[in-house]
A and B are shown apart, each in its own frame.
Chain A
Amino acid sequence: MAAVGRNSEGVLIRIRYWIDNHRSLSAGIFAGVFVILLFVYLYSLTLTGEFRLDFVTSKIPRFIFVGMITTLMLTGVSYVLGMSLGFLTAYARISDIRALKALAKGYIDAFRGTPILVQILLWMIVVAALTPGYRAQAFVAAIAALTINTGAYQAEIFRGGFKAIQEGQIEAGRALGFTSWQLMKHIKLPQVLRLVTPPMTNEFIALLKASALLSIIGVVELTFIAKDEMLRTFLTLEPWTLATLLYLAMTVPLAKLVQFLEIKFRIPGLGLPSDTGLYRGRKPRPGVAASQTTMAAQSLLLRRDPLYEYFRRRNRSKV
């Protein structure tokens, strides 16, 4: 019994290890198997007439050119507006001015601590009260809700980025004669933008998914259209399958693209640590400055996977 247990554990560890060493490949295999199974299932339903392929093909234009475009537009606009808001809030949060700090903290806590659905409904009520009879109320409320919500999250991401920069580098910049604006432009920003790229990508994807909740206040985005088609045609699997695939078509390639760019333009010692298996270049030699930045960046920005750490440690002690 004990021997069997240990043996199967060994196999698990090996599988886990293989996955760690072939991350993109294994992700591709899993995704591929999932998609194939999905299509086989749907195809079998098509044959029995339980899945109406003709619905899907005839509704694709509406789903894409009304739903997906609206979803992307609302998410994109809110994300960019939220970025300015988040950056300023982060700056206020790390400033020396007490009142500003408190204000920033209050804003961040309030909007990260409440459900976005509640925020959306409240914005709708506020906007409706302020602009009676205005036709695009839902749109305004949507952009307000998403912008102000993502602003709070992005503020925390930027703050983490600024905190990860070594104090010493800023002092070195000052010692060279840089003004505080030049320090921001040439030393802080280039590093912060690199460090926040992964969490900022996650935030975009999270916001895009949260935009589905806008269907509640009648914004005609992708989820609204799926629901609308369901109510009109009494079909269920078809509209939601189509919506699912279109959401995936937006999120997966984006995440992959950012990851690719990140690896391609990687700077040793900044952000992405070399032992994630994503980067197969030269390992940075541990200089004091670099390892400090990497560690700070890791602890602040890259959520370490405890399971991964556990197996890595176990495996090392076994060898």
Chain B
Amino acid sequence: MSSSHPMIKAENIHKSYDSLRVLKGVSLSVDKGDVLVIVGPSGSGKSTLLRCINLLVYPDSGSIWIDGILTTHHEVRPEWVREKVAMVFQSFNLFSHLRAVDNVTLGLRKIKGINPEEAREAGIHLLKSVGLEDKIDEYPANLSGGQQQRVAIARALAMNPKVVLFDEPTSALDPEFISEVLDVMTRLANEGMTMIVVTHEIGFAKGVADHLVFLEGGRVLEEGGAREVIESPRRRRTQEFMSKILG
């Protein structure tokens, strides 16, 4: 792209909960259209890092730029940042009082002020794109985990974000439903969406990710091309971790 800045840039992010130091100076950068996969042991701060990037939590120090805009600046409204940076959660988190299509369009209607008919059309279109044209008016409780997660992805895309963050999107799913979600994510990546994905699905990381970051103890221990780090990690800790998740 002609723009010189990366789509996401985080510099020296620190975050503590009381006395627990979770992030100890994390920096990363993702170019427009790239996919970054983050791996790391439980408690290493992966979720906290993602939450900092869309300002669900504020970093104690450090700077974050989204598409060149310094979002950690005190004059930037967090709601504005979250509209640009969508998020998909491990436990789907669909709104249980709304049908699939209304889950997808709630933001369009209530934040962007788009009228219900137009929003519904957009919602149906999005649900079709994740293969759920026959579940438009179902409530979340009547959907399988894989279907719920695909609705959640459609909901994230509805706001037309610049970036989508995925926090272990398949780890709450029964094995039989994992691939349908990964397929949707792969297609999204191929269409040029900028993505940060916390996942231990190594096949996805190898096939789709451009870069990979290995996080441990709140620090980036190793980073590089996804394939290189997975197949020939340089540091001992990374080797151990990779052999563990490769099984």
CB distance from B29 to the nearest CB of A (A): 22
Q: Which of B80, B93, B111 has the most CB of A within 10 A?
A: B93
In the complex, the answer to whether B93 meets A289 with C-beta atoms within 8 Å is: yes
Interface residues in B45-102 by Cβ distance below 8 A to A read 54, 56, 79-80, 82-83, 86-87, 89, 91-97
With contacts A169-B95, A285-B141, A285-B142 taken as known, whether A186 is within 8 angstroms of B110 at the C-beta atoms is yes
**What's the Cα separation between A178 and B87 when bound, in Å?**
13
Interface residue from A172, A182, A290, A294 paired with B111 (Cβ < 8 Å): A182
Query: Residues of B within 8 Å of A, CB-based: how many?
Result: 33
CB distance from A88 to the nearest CB of B (A): 23
With contacts A177-B111, A191-B96 taken as known, whether A290 is within 8 angstroms of B140 at the C-beta atoms is yes
Residues 274-288 of A, flagged 1 when their CB comes within 8 A of B and 0 if not, give: 000000001011011
CB distance from B242 to the nearest CB of A (A): 29
With contacts A173-B95, A191-B96 taken as known, whether A288 is within 8 angstroms of B82 at the C-beta atoms is no
In the complex, the answer to whether A187 meets B95 with C-beta atoms within 8 Å is: yes
Query: Which A-chain residue is minimally distant from B87 (CB atoms)?
Result: A175
In the complex, the answer to whether A176 meets B140 with C-beta atoms within 8 Å is: no
**What's the Cα separation between A290 and B142 when bound, in Å?**
9
In the complex, the answer to whether A169 meets B106 with C-beta atoms within 8 Å is: no
In the complex, the answer to whether B93 meets A267 with C-beta atoms within 8 Å is: no
Interface residue from B80, B86, B139 paired with A268 (Cβ < 8 Å): B139
Query: Which A-chain residue is minimally distant from B143 (CB atoms)?
Result: A287
| A-B CB pair tally, cutoff 8 Å | 110
**Which A residues lie within 8 Å of B106 (CB)?**
176, 186
Interface residues in A164-206 by Cβ distance below 8 A to B read 166, 168-169, 171-179, 182, 186-187, 190-191, 194
Interface residues in A208-240 by Cβ distance below 8 A to B read none
Instruction: Say if the beta carbon of A269 comes within 8 Å of chain B.
Output: yes
In the complex, the answer to whether A177 meets B141 with C-beta atoms within 8 Å is: no
**What's the Cα separation between A177 and B140 when bound, in Å?**
21
**Which A residues lie within 8 Å of B80 (CB)?**
177
In the complex, the answer to whether B142 meets A284 with C-beta atoms within 8 Å is: yes
Instruction: Say if the beta carbon of A119 comes within 8 Å of chain B.
Output: no
In the complex, the answer to whether B56 meets A171 with C-beta atoms within 8 Å is: yes
Q: Which of B83, B110, B159 has the most CB of A within 10 A?
A: B110
In the complex, the answer to whether B97 meets A289 with C-beta atoms within 8 Å is: no
Query: Which A-chain residue is minimally distant from B83 (CB atoms)?
Result: A177
19 pairs across A/B with beta carbons < 8 Å? A172-B87, A172-B89, A172-B94, A175-B54, A176-B107, A176-B111, A177-B82, A182-B110, A191-B97, A194-B97, A267-B139, A269-B141, A270-B141, A282-B142, A285-B144, A287-B145, A290-B139, A293-B96, A294-B141
Top 5 A-B residue pairs of the complex, sorted by shortest distance between their CB atoms = A269-B141, A290-B141, A284-B141, A172-B93, A177-B83
- List chain B positions with a Cβ less than 8 A from chain A: 54, 56, 79-80, 82-83, 86-87, 89, 91-97, 106-107, 110-111, 139-145, 148, 152, 155-156, 159, 172
